[in-house]
Amino acid sequence: MGFTHWFLPLLCPGGGILPISIDFSLYGDGTLPKPIVGPTWTNTGGVATPTVTVGAELLTDPGLEVNYTAGKCDTLVKGGTPTLVQSANVHGGVKAQQFTATAGNDRVNWPVVAGVVNQWYVASEWAVRTVGADGEGRFQIEQAAMKPATLIGHPLIDAAYAQKVTVFRTGSTANIYFWGARDQGAAPWDTVIIDDGSLKAATFTTALFYANAKTPLVQVRVSTHLTGGSVGVFARMDNPANPQNFLLAYLYVHNYNFYAILEKCVAGAYSTVIAGTSIDVFPANYVSGDLLEIRTNGDTVQLWYDGVQRGGDQVVAGLTGTYHGGFAMGGSGIKGFFAVGS
């Protein structure tokens, strides 16, 4: 479901810029059109995506190129009794880790990384399935206090090397577990090969574009382009250069489904307003261009996806910011942006 009509921004009395309706396919490649501000964003072929600022690589030996002992890369930590083989079927370099479970919850992980409170991260790895059709082998990220869920995973089912990407935010200093391969099924077991993992902290503000509506009373939505990272919309933000108070709704992928979640940030502390709600199978039943919305009526807040309300009405008081806009990380993007007074 996409936008049904488009019109140019109109200047409202008092200097506000509402309504706003922008279809990026109607603009040429390059910077985003006014009144949107998004220094890190570029419109390419009708999809706006940010170049998110990321930190140094946090994984030890991300390419799994060190010595292997009894088939296991010395960098990795083994859990359970998987069959491990050094593989020359690589994505990069000359070594990769082959993995076949022999029991449920067999796994291998990179060394744990300490979390940082309210830090966003982009995590990824390359993987290929060479044997089997069970579909229970997973790339997973886990932390006891992270959002949008304490465990996020992607199935390792591709017949050729494919990159799996996830975006998450830590909620404490607890360890982050980067499971390169983890099988939570039963026999017969798939054989997968993993290579070139990555875990990097991401700067949240570089994932935002915004417009100052001069009012917090706004209905706001984005036309989504979800590729496996995250994409969303925010409202009532106080300061996009140093956001401390706002509403944030976004889509994310876990296992075979995609989900929508609504959070609030108050004085820099995040909490869940509407928990992650499964929408449908990804990617088979996700439609690029479907709308994700935050609707507000005073202190009453709603989450909508594809024209359907997800979760019930919620009361969120005290958010008075006037900035509203889009959010994306991990390769996802936005095809359109709409805002109107509520």
Same domain for 309 and 240: yes
Helix (H, G, I), strand (E, B) or coil at 25: helix
Q: Give percent above pLDDT 70 in the chain.
A: 95
Q: What is the four-CA torsion angle of 96, 101, 106, 111, rounded to 10 degrees?
A: 0
Q: Give the pLDDT of residue 281.
A: 98
**Residues across the chain:** 342
Same structural domain for residues 280 and 301? yes
Domain assignment present for residue 8? The answer is no
Q: Structurally, how many domains does the chain consist of? A: 2
In the listed set 174, 202, 230, which residue is the last one of a domain according to the structure?
202
Instruction: Scan for tokens 């990804």, then name that residue.
Output: 282
| Residue 157 lies in domain | 68-202
Tell me the pLDDT tens digit for each residue of 227-284: 999 999 999 999 999 999 999 999 999 999 999 999 999 999 999 999 999 999 999 9
157: domain CATH number is 2.60.120.260
| Cβ atoms of residues 99 and 193 within 8 Å | yes
Instruction: Retrieve residue 241's tokens.
Output: 């250069």
| DSSP secondary structure letter of residue 39 | T
Count Cβ atoms below 10 Å from residue 120 Cβ, excluding itself.
22
Residue 25 has pLDDT above 70, yes or no: yes
| Tens-digit pLDDT profile for residues 164-223 | 999 999 999 999 999 999 999 999 999 999 999 999 999 999 999 999 999 999 999 999
Q: Are residues 75 and 177 in the same domain?
A: yes
Read off the tokens for 77: 């930590």
Tell me whether residue 29 is exposed, middle or buried, using C-beta atoms within 10 angstroms of its C-beta: 0 to 12, 13 to 18, 19 or more.
exposed
> Cβ distance 235 to 247 under 8 Å?
yes
pLDDT digits (tens, 9 = 90+) for 320-340: 999 999 999 999 999 999 999
C-alpha 82/C-alpha 277 separation (Å) is 33
Which residue type does 162 have? A
Q: What pLDDT sits at residue 30?
A: 97
pLDDT tens-digit map of 136-146: 999 999 999 99
Decide if pLDDT at 4 tops 80.
Answer: no
pLDDT on residue 37: 97
> What digits encode the pLDDT tens for the residues 274-311?
999 999 999 999 999 999 999 999 999 999 999 999 99
Q: How many CB atoms lie within 10 A of CB 172?
A: 14
Residue 90 lies inside a defined structural domain of this protein: yes
Cβ proximity of 170 and 176 under 8 Å = yes
Q: Does any domain span residue 57? A: no
Nearest CA-CA partner of 118 in 58, 45, 172: 172
Q: What integer pLDDT is reported at residue 16 of this predicted model?
A: 63
CATH of the domain at 312: 2.60.120.560
pLDDT in tens, 74-125: 999 999 999 999 999 999 999 999 999 999 999 999 999 999 999 999 999 9
What's the CA gap between 246 and 320, in Å, rounded?
Answer: 8
Rounded to whole angstroms, how far apart are CA atoms 284 and 137?
Answer: 19
The alpha carbon of 282 is separated from its chain's Cα centroid by a whole number of angstroms, namely: 13
Q: Which amino acid is at 44?
A: T
Q: What is the pLDDT of residue 3?
A: 35
| Residue 6 belongs to some domain of the structure | no
Are 124 and 155 in a shared domain?
Answer: yes
Q: Final residue of a domain: which of 164, 181, 202? A: 202
Instruction: Say if residue 219 is in the same domain as residue 194.
Output: no
Residues 334 and 208 in one domain: yes
pTM over 0.85: yes
pLDDT of 11 higher than 50? no
Provide Rg for the chain, Cα atoms. Answer: 21
- Chosen domain end from 160, 182, 202: 202
pLDDT at 13: 34
